[in-house]
Amino acid sequence: MSEIVQSEPFVMNIGPQHPSTHGVFRVKATVDGERVVDAEMVLGYLHRSMEKLAEERTYTQNIPFTDRTDYLSSMSNNLGYCLAVEKLAGIEVPPRGQAIRVIMAELQRLASHCMGAGAFANDTGAWQTPIMWFMREREKILDIFEMTSGARLTCNYMRIGGVAFDLPDDFEEHVRALIGPLRETIADGEGLLSGNEIFLARARNVAVIPQELAVNASLSGPMLRGSGVAWDIRKADPYCGYEQYDFDIPIGYQGDAYDRFIVRLEEMRQSLRIVEQALEALPGGPHSTEVPLALRPPAGEAYARIESPRGELGYYLVSDEGPSPYRFHIRPPSLINLSVLKEMTVGGSIADAIVALGSIDIVVGEIDR
């Protein structure tokens, strides 16, 4: 047959303006008909050189930058950066500050996974319905953020040594009102998609990442857990007192796009459990320690990482006793999770490539920084 029908691969640009690239991200896919034979990614459309900018600003001034890396989970980014500075300068956070940080980080994970799971459903073609359901719940979380920090998306709430403000009085009431409906929405999304034949046909055995590759390619977060590796920094290297809370690590079966989707949904359930427990045991006391505004940590280096919604978010700081970091490096989970894009897409069809890309749950602000 191939002697009669000659086909010739050609390059198709998926992005930078494309509904499914979740931002300005471009894949140069070489396709042979519907089959992808090569995929090369082109980054940098959103590059703001934050690492350079951060070297000119004080440690506290850098916190808003971290909001703008992964703009879907600004609280987690704040937290990771503040942990790194605290590790560098040896600052202790009071228990209430830690509990507030945990609540905020978990709410942020919920909001981010709402977006991630919904956008993934959108990529498989479940036209807008699941994402709208999840967005409805995400909206309530953003309202809580607005109530607490004054901003919805770029919260800038964590501070070195604690958090910026104490919680408002009706915070607990609002969060408790959120938990029930969110559980229902997760169950709804699961009912709509998880057992759906078409969804299974699209997402199962697509973009499979074997365990060895997942570890070797430095993947983290739901990508790693979807491949069946029980790894969660909240468990492995607890920060902010995560060891007090009772939760499980969801892991997938074979590392395909479907596994990553169900892992995200289950993580949302576990996050709700953590939020409930943290609300129960919210300690009193100060929410923050006094930290000098122009902080000058001792010379040295620190690498602190947290489990952000997208994976291991690390901050590597080098101090030279100056008021601003000598070197400020972000380990972006989205970028490193993207490094297996070629392995995931080559050999499948274009539709599979879109599903593979959606299952990574990238945020381009974090990839390009």
Q: Which of 95, 221, 255, 309 binds other proteins (CB under 8 A)?
A: 255
Q: Which stretch binds other proteins (CB under 8 A): 99-107, 167-175, 260-268, 281-289?
A: 260-268
Q: Quick check: bond before 283 cis, omega within 30? A: no
Task: Kindly state whether residue 347 participates in binding other proteins, applying the rule CB under 8 A.
Answer: no
Between the CA of residue 76 and those of 143, 158, 194, what are the distances in Å?
A: 17, 9, 28
Closest distance of CB 103 from other proteins, Å: 21
Residues 191-210 as x/- pattern, contact with other proteins by CB under 8 A: -xxxxx-xxxxx-x-----x
Q: Is 42 helix (H, G, I), strand (E, B) or coil?
A: strand
Q: Which stretch binds other proteins (CB under 8 A): 63-71, 102-110, 118-126, 288-296?
A: 118-126
Task: Kindly state whether residue 218 participates in binding other proteins, applying the rule CB under 8 A.
Answer: yes
Report the site for other proteins in 277-316 (rule: CB under 8 A).
Answer: 299-303, 305, 312, 314, 316
Task: Kindly state whether residue 34 participates in binding other proteins, applying the rule CB under 8 A.
Answer: yes
Closest distance of CB 229 from other proteins, Å: 5
CA distance 7 to 293: 64
Q: Is the separation of the CB atoms in 189 and 130 below 8 Å?
A: yes
Task: Kindly state whether residue 250 participates in binding other proteins, applying the rule CB under 8 A.
Answer: yes
Task: Kindly state whether residue 128 participates in binding other proteins, applying the rule CB under 8 A.
Answer: yes
Q: Which of 94, 95, 252, 297 binds other proteins (CB under 8 A)?
A: 252
Closest distance of CB 89 from other proteins, Å: 14
Between the CA of residue 267 and those of 1, 7, 176, 292, what are the distances in Å?
A: 48, 44, 18, 37
Q: Is the separation of the CB atoms in 71 and 363 below 8 Å?
A: yes
Residues 219-248 as x/- pattern, contact with other proteins by CB under 8 A: x-----x-xxxxxxx-xxxx---------x
CA distance 169 to 176: 13
Task: Kindly state whether residue 86 participates in binding other proteins, applying the rule CB under 8 A.
Answer: no
CA distance 104 to 99: 9
Closer to other proteins at the Cβ: 110 or 163?
110
- Number of Cβ within 10 Å of residue 187's Cβ equals 13
Angle 95-123/74-89 helices, nearest 10 degrees? Answer: 140
Closest CA to 13 of 33, 31, 1, 35: 31
Q: Which stretch binds other proteins (CB under 8 A): 77-85, 104-112, 212-220, 287-295?
A: 212-220
